[in-house]
Structure 1
Amino acid sequence: MDKGYIQIYTGNGKGKTTAALGLSLRAVCAGKKVFFGQFVKGMKYSEVKAEKILSGFEIRQFGRECFIYRDPEEEDKKIAKEGLAICKEILKKGEYDVVVLDEINIALYFKLFEVSDVIEALENRKPNVEVILTGRYAPKELIDMADLVTEMKEVKHYYNKGVKARKGIES
């Protein structure tokens, strides 16, 4: 690719990470290299096994257990900042065709680092790198910078009826 674009998948509906994984699968199947960095997440979701199956796909997690129902601790901030530093270098080197920053908007929402740090990483990336940013609450600064923004809107969700995350579907 001569030019990589910035895509954002945000909103309160289900499917942001799933869409990024789908794009990653498509890219790998087209012979591209994908780096998938997951912020906030430390649980062993099913997708962490993908790099053992898919040549050209690497995934790293920059989180511990989920803190959505508690305040983030200093260790959460430290891990997220270290993850962002790794992603900045990956974006700058341009060895991957697609870089996914999964749940980076949530990391920003919980103030694990600053939006200016993410903007700097995006501005200093190799121009041919496609970047996908996921997570609810995408900040206006990133929306303004992005080339494509998709908002997932929840219309109905079985979670509201007490259905827990199912392996291979939500986790």
Structure 2
Amino acid sequence: MEKGYVHVYTGNGKGKTTASLGLSVRAALAGKKVFFGQFVKGMEYSELKIVDYLPNIEIHQFGRDCFIYNDPTEEDILVAKEGLEICKEVLKNGEYDLVVLDEINIALYYKLFSVEEVLEMIKEREHHVEVVLTGRYAPEEIVEIADLVTEMKEVKHYYTTGLMARKGIEF
């Protein structure tokens, strides 16, 4: 790719991570090299097994236990900042064609690092690298610099009936 674009998948509806995983699989099957970094997440999600099937996708988690219903701890912040440093290097070195920053908007919402750091990281990336930022609450500054913004809107969700997350569908 001559020029990499910036995608944002945000909103309160289901499907942001799923869409970025679909794009990652498509890119990998087209011979592209993919780096998938998950912020905030530390659970054993099914997508972590993707490396067993598609060797040109690398996936890393930069989160611990889910703190979404609590305040992040110092350790949560440290893990996120370490992940951000890894992603800065990945974006800058140009080794990957597609870099997904999954749930980075949530990390920003919880102030695990600054919007300015993320904007600078995107600006300093190798020019051919396509980058995807996912998560609810995308800051306006991120939306402004993006080339593509998709907002997932929840219309109806079976969680409201008490259905819990199911392996292979939600995680």
**TM-score scaled to structure 1, two decimals?**
0.99
Report the 3-state secondary structure (helix = DSSP H, G, I; strand = E; otherwise coil) of the residue aligned with 1:17.
helix
Structure 2, unaligned runs of 5 or more: none
Taking the aligned partners of 2:161 and 2:127, their CA distance within structure 1 comes to 45
Displacement of 1:116: 0.4
Q: Which residue of 1 aligns with 2:85?
A: 85
Q: Which residue of 2 aligns with 1:161?
A: 161
Taking the aligned partners of 1:10 and 1:66, their CA distance within structure 2 comes to 19
Displacement of 1:52: 1.6
Q: Which residue of 2 aligns with 1:12?
A: 12
Displacement of 1:26: 0.2
After superposition, residues 62-81 of structure 1 pair within 5 angstroms as 62-81=62-81
Taking the aligned partners of 1:9 and 1:95, their CA distance within structure 2 comes to 23
After superposition, residues 85-124 of structure 1 pair within 5 angstroms as 85-124=85-124
Q: Which residue of 2 aligns with 1:45?
A: 45
Question: Where has structure 1 moved over 3 Å in runs of 4 or more?
Answer: none
Q: One-letter code of the match for 1:122?
A: I
Taking the aligned partners of 2:151 and 2:75, their CA distance within structure 1 comes to 30
Q: One-letter code of the match for 1:146?
A: A
Displacement of 1:27: 0.2
Q: Over the residues paired in the alignment, what is the CA RMSD in angstroms?
A: 0.4
Report the 3-state secondary structure (helix = DSSP H, G, I; strand = E; otherwise coil) of the residue aligned with 1:126.
coil
Give CA deviations for 1:93-133 in whole Å, capped at 9, x if unaligned: 01000000000000000000000000010000001000000
Report the 3-state secondary structure (helix = DSSP H, G, I; strand = E; otherwise coil) of the residue aligned with 2:60.
strand
Q: One-letter code of the match for 1:17?
A: T
Report the 3-state secondary structure (helix = DSSP H, G, I; strand = E; otherwise coil) of the residue aligned with 2:91.
helix
Tell me how many residue pairs correspond in the alignment: 171
Displacement of 1:53: 1.2
Q: One-letter code of the match for 2:61?
A: Q
Q: One-letter code of the match for 1:93?
A: N
Taking the aligned partners of 2:17 and 2:66, their CA distance within structure 1 comes to 15
Displacement of 1:56: 0.3
Q: One-letter code of the match for 2:167?
A: K
Give CA deviations for 1:24-67 in whole Å, capped at 9, x if unaligned: 00000000000000000000100001012112000000000111
Displacement of 1:141: 0.3
Work out whether 1:33 is the aligned partner of 2:33.
Answer: yes
